Amino acid sequence: MHYETVIGLEVHCELATKSKIFCGCSTKFGGAPNSHVCPGCAGFPGTLPVLNRSVVEYAVRAGLALNCDINRVNGFERKHYFYPDLPGAYQVTQFFAPVCVNGSVELANGKRVAIKQIHMEEDAGKLVHDSFEDATLADYNRGGMPLLEIVSQPDMRSAAEAVEYVEKLKAILEYTGVSDCKMQEGSLRVDVNLSVRPMGSEKLGVRTEMKNLNSMRSIARAVAFESARHVEVIEEGGQLVQETRRWDDDKGESFAMRGKENAQDYMYFPDPNLPPVMIGEEEIEAARASLPELPEAKKQRYVTELGLPEYDAGIITGSKHLMELFEATCRVEIFDAFDKTVAKEAANWIMGEVLNQLKATQTLPEDMSFDPKHLANLIRLVQGQQINRGTAKKVFAEVFAHNVHPEAYVKEHNLALVTDSGAIRDMIAKVVAENEKSVSEYKSGKEKALQFLIGQSMKALRGQAPAQEVKKILLEILAE
Ligand SMILES: [Zn+2]
């Protein structure tokens, strides 16, 4: 029998506000344990929360960018559970009326993944299990950090769709500036809800949830593993249990953690210390006006205005950091803004050498540190035929790693092309004189002999002369 996988995702995204959601503590990543903590975010009785209005602003901006409706009146509820990373024994979140509802993200195949809702909430602290034997330590720096939880409908049908949805969502959130979305630092975490059903069936199967996946690769692997596990249990006549499972990325398997609590177990009720959140029309319009050009619109513009291939435009606009590198390179003053040939050339460099270097050095786009001016300078050196492409690639590796200035580097290492045709002619004449046998073979009609002579000439010029020029001069000398 054929099965269909049904996937819904809950994405937690840490907001880039300077202070926490209900107190003035810093949201800076890292810091000594419990150094970004006050009685409020440490859950002391008698403290009162005060909502950080920037969190609402950011939530509205994210909601608008994700095509959501904004709930003009929304509020906060307490979700009760006991766990040592949650000192107040409840998490302040939104349950009855979330800030944004009914959004969507469009995939490349035209499918719209519906976003059911986005709610604001506070993060929990962090438990450190392995610093001491027989002891677990609690670090509450993360407690009270502002989060958006973005809940999709179960609209995805494969690992590829799930990954594409997260990539698109991440790019949109990065563009709007609401979050840095660093998955490796936990500022974007994904819970995967998954079930399988016989192809063609309308009824949803039993659902399991895998929490806190923090890379695209682990999302893809977790979906593949878990859907195969579901099919296996069904085919063997077993019974799937609705539960939360832990994804172990090292083992490549999921493990049962605990049964899924029903909503009632949390005893949600409105937080009596937090008044309803009212959002005015002017606030919504201001947020709308503050939105930058979003990835999809930018991609279309790159295709129509700059003539970039759709694929390239998609890759570049798919990452805020690649997009910024591209635009900064094109904007460097030595070029006319967005000259089409420069744009194409810059795009080729990013699609080629930049991606190669990122992969080879396992660097994330946000960690690139070279000056876009240097990439522009390199493009100009190639366009002006001062260096050939092979040399340019080697120089770029130095730009990428050490932010060298290409022109200075080329000069220092004597990498410039020989453009003095007199010097080229002298060198080639010497090669012709030293290879009488090949010359006579060429004259008796052997094409291969010409290739050999071109090769020898290029070698004599250390590869630093324009190939066309070398061939032209060689033919002239041979015709004499
Ligand atoms: Zn605090």
* Res. 480: pLDDT tops 70: yes
What's the 468 CA to ligand 1 centre distance in angstroms? 68
* Res. 351: pLDDT tops 60: yes
- Give me the pLDDT at residue 259, please: 54
What's the 144 CA to ligand 1 centre distance in angstroms? 7
What's the 43 CA to ligand 1 centre distance in angstroms? 9
* Res. 449: pLDDT tops 50: yes
- Give me the pLDDT at residue 339, please: 64
Determine whether 399 is exposed, middle or buried from the number of CB atoms within 10 Å of its CB (0-12, 13-18, 19+).
buried
What's the 222 CA to ligand 1 centre distance in angstroms? 35
Q: Which SS3 state, helix, strand or coil, does residue 297 take?
A: helix
* Res. 104: pLDDT tops 90: yes
Per the listing, tokens 């009162």 go with 48
- Give me the pLDDT at residue 423, please: 83
d(CA 9, CA 191) in angstroms, rounded, equals 6
- Give me the pLDDT at residue 247, please: 92
What's the 143 CA to ligand 1 centre distance in angstroms? 8
- Phi first, then psi: give them for residue 435, nearest 5 degrees: -130, 55
Q: Does residue 19 or residue 429 have the better pLDDT?
A: 19
pLDDT of 173-197, one tens digit each?
999 999 999 998 889 999 999 999 9
Q: Are 55 and 15 in contact (CB under 8 A)?
A: yes
What's the 42 CA to ligand 1 centre distance in angstroms? 7
Average of per-residue pLDDT across 330-358: 81
Average of per-residue pLDDT across 198-220: 94
What's the 18 CA to ligand 1 centre distance in angstroms? 12
CA-based torsion, 360, 363, 250, 260: positive or negative: negative
What's the 418 CA to ligand 1 centre distance in angstroms? 65
Which region among 95-109, 111-125, 135-149, 437-451 has the lowest average model confidence (pLDDT)? Answer: 437-451
Q: Does residue 340 or residue 141 have the better pLDDT?
A: 141
* Res. 380: pLDDT tops 70: yes
Average of per-residue pLDDT across 438-467: 87
Average of per-residue pLDDT across 428-440: 90
Q: Does residue 263 or residue 22 have the better pLDDT?
A: 22
The single-letter DSSP state of residue 461 is: T
Does the global pTM surpass 0.95? no
Q: Does residue 380 or residue 62 have the better pLDDT?
A: 62
Average pLDDT, the chain: 92
d(CA 344, CA 265) in angstroms, rounded, equals 57
pLDDT of 295-334, one tens digit each?
999 999 999 988 999 999 999 999 999 999 999 998 865 5
Q: Does residue 283 or residue 420 have the better pLDDT?
A: 283
- Give me the pLDDT at residue 258, please: 61
- Give me the pLDDT at residue 263, please: 46
Q: Does residue 107 or residue 469 have the better pLDDT?
A: 107
* Nearest partner of 414 among 479, 467, 461, 472, judged by Cα: 461
The alpha-helical segments, DSSP class H, found in 22-149 are 53-65
- Give me the pLDDT at residue 333, please: 57
* Res. 262: pLDDT tops 60: no
